[in-house]
Amino acid sequence: NKGKYEHYMQKEIHEQPDSLTTTMRGRLIRGGSCKAKSVLLGGLKDHLKTIRRSRRIVFIGCGTSYNAALAARPILEELSGIPVTLEIASDLLDRQGPIYREDTTVFVSQSGETADTLQALEYALENGALCVGITNTVGSAIARTTHCGVHINAGCEIGVASTKAYTSQIVVMAMLALAIGDDTISSQTRREAIIDGLFDLPSKLKEVLKLDEEMKDLARLLIAEQSLLVFGRGYNYATALEGALKVKEVALMHSEGILAGEMKHGPLALVDETLPIVVVATRDACFSKQQSVIHQLHARKGRLIVMCTKGDAASVCVGGSCRVIEVPQVEDCLQPVINIVPLQLLAYHLTVLRGHNVDQPRNLAKSVTTQ
Ligand code: UD1
Ligand code: F6R
C-alpha cells in the first residue's frame, strides 16, 4: 500500500523518521539520576563479551548494506578500539580471504537472503568465527544461520533501491558501537552525545526531508546529464558511494562516488565546466580538507553542488558560484544518516523526470538469491 505516495521508493524515503524510531524503540535507555544513558541490544547481550575479546571485526555485505557498514566503521573503530575491516561478500569468496576463530564477522543484509552474503556466512562458520547478523527480515536465511544478531526493524522495504533500510542499518551499527565500547570516563561525554543524537535523529530527518522540492529542482537541472560525480571522505565517504549507487541504479545515469582524498590521484582529470559534481562538506574533523577540495575543483571550473551544514553556504561556496544543499547538523558519526536523504530524493526525482521505472529498475531484483 503506497498510501498518498506514487512510488514505494518515495514512500520509503519519506517514512524514515518513523522507521528510525522503530529501529531504536526499546533499545536506547535515557538514563536517570544515577543511571547512565545506554544501549540495549537484546539479541547481542549474551555475546558482547566474546565480541569485545575478538581480534578483529569484519563486516560483510553487498551493495547498500556494504555502504552502511562503511558509514559506521569510523565510530566502531573509535568506540571499540578493535580493528574493523570491510568485505564485499563476493570478493571475500573470490579470494577465499582469511577469516579466523578470533574474528567477529558481521553479516549485513536487508533481505537476509542475498546469495553471496549467505555463502560468505557459511564460509565464516566453517572457519570458526563468531557470526553476527544485521537483518531486516525476521526468519530470513541470514537471521537463522547467524549465531546472534540484531533486527533493524525498519519495516518491509519494497522499492528495489534500498533507502530506509540503509539509514536503519547505520543506526543499528552506531548502537552496536555503543554496546561494544566500554563506558570509561574518558568516553562518557562522547557516548552521551551520540545517544542524545540518536534520540534527535527522527526530528532531524523530518527537517532534511523538507528539501524535497529543492531536490526536484536540482533534478530538473541535471535531467539530461550523462554523469554525476559525488565526492566524500571520512564519515561521508559512504554517502558518496551510496548516493552514486542510488543515481546509477534507478535514474540509470552514470554516477561515481569518489574518496575526496584520492582526487589528485586520477579523478581530477575528469573535471571541466560541464560535468556536475556533488561535494559532501558538512562539519566534522574533515571539513577544512573538504574546503580545500572545493577550492581546487573550483580552480578547474568544476560545476559544483556542495552539501554543507545549515548556515555554512557562504564558507563553502567560493565566489557564490556553486549550488548549495544545506542540511541540519547532527553528531558527526550520525551525519551520514542525514546526508544521504537529499541524494535519495535527487535519485528519485531524476528517475521520474527521465521516465524510468522507479520501483523496479531494469535488470535488477530486490533480493539477489543467485550468484
Ligand atoms: C526481541 C523480539 C521483539 C521484542 C523484544 C522484547 C523478535 C524477532 N524480536 O527483540 O519482538 O519486542 O525482543 O524484548 O522476536 N538474530 C540473529 N541474527 C540476526 C538477527 C537476529 O541471530 O540477523 C537473533 C538475535 O540474537 C535474537 C533474536 O534473533 O536472539 C531476535 O533479535 P532482535 O529482534 O534484534 O532482538 P530484540 O531487539 O531483543
Ligand atoms: C541498492 C540495493 C542493493 C542491495 C544489495 C544487498 O539499492 O538494493 O545494492 O543493497 O543487493 O541486498 P541485501 O541488503 O538484501 O543483502
Confidence at residue 321, expressed as pLDDT on a 0 to 100 scale: 80
Q: What string of H, E and C letters represents the secondary structure of 239-303?
A: HHHHHHHHHHHHHCCEEEEEEHHHHHHCHHHHCCCCCEEEEEECCCCCHHHHHHHHHHHHHCCCE
What is the distance between the alpha carbons of residues 361 and 351, in angstroms, rounded to a whole number?
9
Averages of pLDDT over runs of 10 residues in the chain (371 residues) are 95 98 95 83 96 97 98 97 98 98 98 98 98 98 98 96 98 97 86 96 98 98 98 98 98 98 96 97 97 95 97 88 95 98 98 93 86 82
Distance 65 CA to ligand 2 centre (A): 6
Cβ contact 13:163 at 8 Å: yes
Ligand 2 touching residue 64 (CB < 6 A): yes
What is the distance between the alpha carbons of residues 169 and 117, in angstroms, rounded to a whole number?
16
Cβ contact 129:99 at 8 Å: yes
Ligand 1 surroundings by CB, under 6 angstroms: 42-43, 133, 135, 138, 142-143, 146, 148-151
Q: Are strands 38-39 and 28-29 parallel, antiparallel or unpaired?
A: antiparallel
Distance 153 CA to ligand 1 centre (A): 10
Instruction: Please report which ligand is nearest the Cα atom of 62.
Output: 2
Confidence at residue 338, expressed as pLDDT on a 0 to 100 scale: 98
* Complex ipTM value: 0.98
Task: Walk across the sheet containing 148-151 and list its strands.
Answer: 84-88, 56-61, 103-109, 130-135, 148-151
Ligand 1 atom with minimal separation from the 134 CA: 23
Distance 43 CA to ligand 1 centre (A): 5
Ligand 2 touching residue 68 (CB < 6 A): no
Cβ contact 16:200 at 8 Å: no
Instruction: Please report which ligand is nearest the Cα atom of 67.
Output: 2
Q: Which of 150, 153, 168, 173 to mutate to test the pocket of ligand 1 (most atoms within 8 A of CB)?
A: 150
What is the distance between the alpha carbons of residues 223 and 353, in angstroms, rounded to a whole number?
7
Q: What is the amino acid identity at position 370?
A: T
What is the distance between the alpha carbons of residues 121 and 129, in angstroms, rounded to a whole number?
10
Confidence at residue 32, expressed as pLDDT on a 0 to 100 scale: 79
Instruction: Please report which ligand is nearest the Cα atom of 105.
Output: 1
Distance 154 CA to ligand 1 centre (A): 13
Backbone angles phi, psi at 308, to 5 degrees: -135, 175
Of 131, 133, 127, 175, which Cα lies nearest the Cα of 150? 133
CA dihedral of 316, 75, 117, 156, whole degrees rounded to 10: -70
Q: Taking each helix axis as running N to C, give the angle between helix 164-180 and helix 335-353, from 0 to 180 degrees, rounded to the nearest 10.
A: 170
Q: Which of 343, 368, 370 to mutate to test the pocket of ligand 2 (most atoms within 8 A of CB)?
A: 368
Q: What string of H, E and C letters represents the secondary structure of the chain?
A: CCCCCCCHHHHHHHCHHHHHHHHHCCCEECCCCCCCCEECCCCCCCCHHHHHHCCEEEEEECHHHHHHHHHHHHHHHHHHCCCEEEEEHHHHHHHCCCCCCCEEEEEEECCCCCHHHHHHHHHHHHCCCEEEEEECCCCCHHHHHCCEEEECCCCCCCCCCCCHHHHHHHHHHHHHHHHHCCCCHHHHHHHHHHHHHHHHHHHHHHHHHCCHHHHHHHHHHHCCCCEEEEEECHHHHHHHHHHHHHHHHHHCCEEEEEEHHHHHHCHHHHCCCCCEEEEEECCCCCHHHHHHHHHHHHHCCCEEEEEEECCCHHHHCHHHCCEEEEECCCCHHHHHHHHHHHHHHHHHHHHHHCCCCCCCCCCCCCCCCCC
Distant-in-sequence, close-in-space partners of 235: CB < 8 Å, separation ≥ 6: 71, 74, 75, 284, 286, 332, 333, 335, 336
pTM higher than 0.90, yes or no? yes
Ligand 2 touching residue 10 (CB < 6 A): no
